[in-house]
Structure formats: structure tokens, C-alpha cells
């Protein structure tokens, strides 16, 4: 099918990045959020990020202006019913996502494809709460969306081939690379990444190393661009914990048990960069380890 108009639910970190790349690729974008302030902030951030690309010579000033002109914000979820593809990028909580799909379904066109940017939740289960499980997929972008080249495409048990091919064509038009994943907890990237981060937190919890020594060891010893604890702060410790809980509950294997220290940080509200404190304290000029 020909996808021309994309609806995005959620104007946060992931949603505004998805809107950015879709508009730049020539799609008309309808960006939805329950907060008008969040919509304004998202469009301002897209403007800033596009300008950064102009300054680096990645795109022209005319391309930036055209892309911005393709994005419209709305706080009315039902308006997304007129789009060809919906990408849900709301909070990583299943109850929230299900409520969004249930509110949206009565207003959709028959051909509209529904997708979720979930990083761990069952696509089959989400799809079953809609009227079109065959037209439902996981569409998992990496953060930051304009920079990262991978998109995980996850088929639910009912997803049909035309839906997969349509989503694959979108990924290719965005200039990104698709990795197809089966619908098992956390898919590919987070199935491998999150246990590594969780093990780094256990290494800290058990006193094997400090925050700085763990991150330095992984950056210099394995050539990772960012240490696992720094990366956890960037992702959000609440998101890391949520994914570990999905793995632990979904696979019933003790190797996925979330580290108690990760739980403690989340309970304290120290969620990483977004709250200015996590494994590092970001309130000063330079990040300072908190342990």
C-alpha cells in the first residue's frame, strides 16, 4: 500500500525523533500528545535538530523548511484516524498503550496500519486489543532516532505479509536499516543490551567496581562508545527496569532478575539524565558519579 501520511502518538524523546525523520523523508506527519506544551516543545526541538543538520551540511535550509512544514501537532487523538500509518511512541506501559489503541481504533480508516515503538512489550498481545491484528507490527526505533540507523520490525503472530512489506518500505525510505525480530520479550537489541546493563549494575551493587571504573573498563576494554551505566542514564533507569521486568516475567529465568540497586534508584526518582540524577549527577558543569 502507498503510505503518505504518518500519525505519531507521543511527542516525547522518541516521538519527536520519529516525526523528524518521517518529515525529512517526505511523509506528512501528524504528531499527537495530550499536552499542548509537549507538542510545542517537540516541534521546537525538531527545528533545533534540523538546524544542526543544516549547519553540518547534512541537509539544505530549504529541506529543513519543507520538513518542518510537513509536521502538524494535535492534542486530538481521533485526528490520527485519517493517517495511513500510526506509530505509537507513548510511555512504555502496556495499560497506557492499550488505552491509546482502544480510543483510536473506532476512528481509523480500513487500510490504516497500526504499529508500536515499544522496546519490550508483546506485539501479539497489543494487536489482540485492536480490530486489525493482521495490520499491527512492532516498529522499534533506536534513540536518538535521527542518528541511529537501525529499526527493529517485529511481527505479531497475526501480522500479514503486506503489512510487513509496507513497514519495511517505510524503513528503507527513511534511509535506515531494518532488522526483523520475532515477538519474544525485548526482541533483539534489548534482549542483549539490558542484561548487560543490569549486570553492570550488579557489578556496582556488589562492590566489584565504582561507577567510573565500570564505565571506563567497558569503554577502553571493549571499545564501547559509552559505558553501560552512562548508557542506562541516557535511556532512563525506569525504562531499563521496565524492560528487565518484562524479560524476567516473560521468560521466567532468574538470570533476568533486575538488580535491587536499579530498583532502588528508580524508587528514589533518580532516573538518569531526564531527572538530572542517576548513576551520575548531572546538576553541575560535568557529570559526577553518585557511587
Which string of DSSP letters, residue by residue, matches 205-272?
HTTSS-HHHHHHHHHHHH--SS-HHHHHHHH-HHHHHHHHHHHHHHH--GGGPPPHHHHHHHHHT--B
Q: For residue 132, what is the domain's CATH number?
A: 3.40.50.720
The one catalytic residue in 116, 120, 190, 198 is: 190
> Mean pLDDT across the stretch 188-200?
97
Task: Answer yes or no: do 215 and 165 share one domain.
Answer: no
**Whole domain around residue 168: which residue ranges?**
5-182
User: Are 15 and 120 contained in the same domain?
Assistant: yes
Instruction: Out of 136, 163, 182, pick the residue that ends a domain.
Output: 182
Q: Which of 120, 140, 198, 230 is catalytic?
A: 140
The pLDDT tens digits for 63-119 are 999 999 999 999 999 999 999 999 999 988 899 999 999 999 999 999 999 999 998
Task: Indicate whether 203 and 71 sit together in one domain.
Answer: no
152 in catalytic set:
yes
User: Is 116 marked active-site?
Assistant: no
Q: Do residue 152 and residue 215 come from a single domain? A: no
Binding residues for NAD(+): 10-15, 33, 92, 97, 119, 143, 274
Beta carbons within 8 Å of 273's beta carbon, 6+ residues apart: 233, 234, 236, 282
DSSP state of 32: E
Is the Cβ–Cβ distance between 163 and 134 less than 8 Å? Answer: yes
At 33-42, the pLDDT tens digits run 999 999 999 9
Do 134 and 69 belong together in one domain? yes
Does 27 share its domain with 131?
A: yes
Asked whether residue 178 falls in the same domain as residue 259, the answer is no
- Residue recorded with cell 505519531: 8
| Average pLDDT rounded to a whole number, residues 188-196 | 97
Give 6's pLDDT tier (boundaries 50, 70, 90): very high
Q: What is the pLDDT of residue 214?
A: 98
Is 213 an annotated catalytic residue? no
pLDDT score recorded for residue 147:
95
Which of 152, 182, 212 lies at the terminal end of a domain, its last residue?
Answer: 182
List the catalytic residue out of 16, 32, 116, 119: 119
- The reply to whether 178 and 198 lie within a common domain is no
Looking at the structure, tell me whether residues 53 and 160 fall in a common domain.
Answer: yes
Residue 231's domain is classified under what CATH number? Answer: 1.10.1040.10
Domain end (from 124, 153, 182): 182
Tell whether 122 and 44 lie within a shared domain: yes
* Mean pLDDT score of the chain: 96
Q: pLDDT-based confidence at 62, cuts 50/70/90? A: very high
Residue 133 shares a structural domain with residue 224: no
pLDDT beyond 80 at 1? no
Q: Active-site residue 119, yes or no?
A: yes
The CA distance from 214 to 227, in Å, is 7
pLDDT at 245: 95
How many structural domains are present in the chain? 2
Q: Mean per-residue pLDDT for 171-190?
A: 96
> Which pLDDT value is given to residue 120?
87
Residue list for the binding site: 10-15, 33, 92, 97, 119, 143, 274
Percent of the chain with pLDDT over 90: 97
- Among the options 20, 152, 198, 230, which is catalytic? 152
Amino acid at each position: 500500500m502507498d503510505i503518505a501520511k504518518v500519525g505519531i502518538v507521543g511527542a516525547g524523546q522518541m516521538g519527536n525523533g520519529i516525526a523528524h525523520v518521517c518529515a525529512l523523508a517526505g511523509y506528512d506527519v501528524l504528531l499527537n500528545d495530550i499536552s499542548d506544551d509537549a507538542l510545542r516543545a517537540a516541534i521546537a526541538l525538531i527545528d533545533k535538530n534540523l538546524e544542526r543538520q543544516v549547519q553540518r551540511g547534512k541537509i539544505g535550509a530549504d529541506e529543513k523548511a519543507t520538513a518542518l512544514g510537513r509536521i502538524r501537532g494535535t492534542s486530538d487523538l481521533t485526528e490520527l484516524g485519517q493517517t495511513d500509518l500510526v506509530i505509537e511512541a507513548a510511555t512504555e506501559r502496556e495499560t497506557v498503550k492499550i488505552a491509546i489503541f482502544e480510543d483510536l481504533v473506532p476512528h481509523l480508516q480500513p487500510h490504516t496500519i497500526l504499529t508500536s515503538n515499544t522496546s519490550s512489550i508483546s506485539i501479539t498481545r497489543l494487536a489482540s486489543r485492536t480490530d486489525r491484528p493482521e495490520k499491527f507490527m512492532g516498529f522499534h526505533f533506536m534513540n536518538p532516532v535521527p542518528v541511529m540507523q537501525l529499526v527493529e520490525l517485529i511481527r505479531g503472530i497475526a501480522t500479514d505479509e503486506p503489512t510487513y512489506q509496507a513497514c519495511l518500505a517505510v524503513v528503507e525510505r527513511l534511509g535506515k536499516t531494518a532488522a526483523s525480530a520475532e515477538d519474544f520479550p525485548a526482541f533483539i537489541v534489548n534482549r542483549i543490551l539490558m542484561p548487560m546493563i543490569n549486570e553492570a549494575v550488579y557489578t556496582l551493587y556488589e562492590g566489584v567496581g565504582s561507577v567510573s571504573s565500570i564505565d571506563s573498563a567497558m569503554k577502553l576494554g571493549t571499545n564501547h562508545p559509552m559505558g553501560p551505566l552512562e548508557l542506562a542514564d541516557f535511556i532512563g533507569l525506569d525504562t531499563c527496569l521496565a524492560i528487565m521486568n518484562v524479560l524476567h516475567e516473560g521468560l521466567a529465568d532468574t538470570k533476568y532478575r533486575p538488580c535491587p540497586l536499579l530498583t532502588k534508584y528508580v524508587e528514589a526518582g533518580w532516573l538518569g539524565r531526564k531527572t538530572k540524577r542517576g548513576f551520575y549527577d548531572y546538576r553541575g558543569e560535568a557529570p559526577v558519579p553518585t557511587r
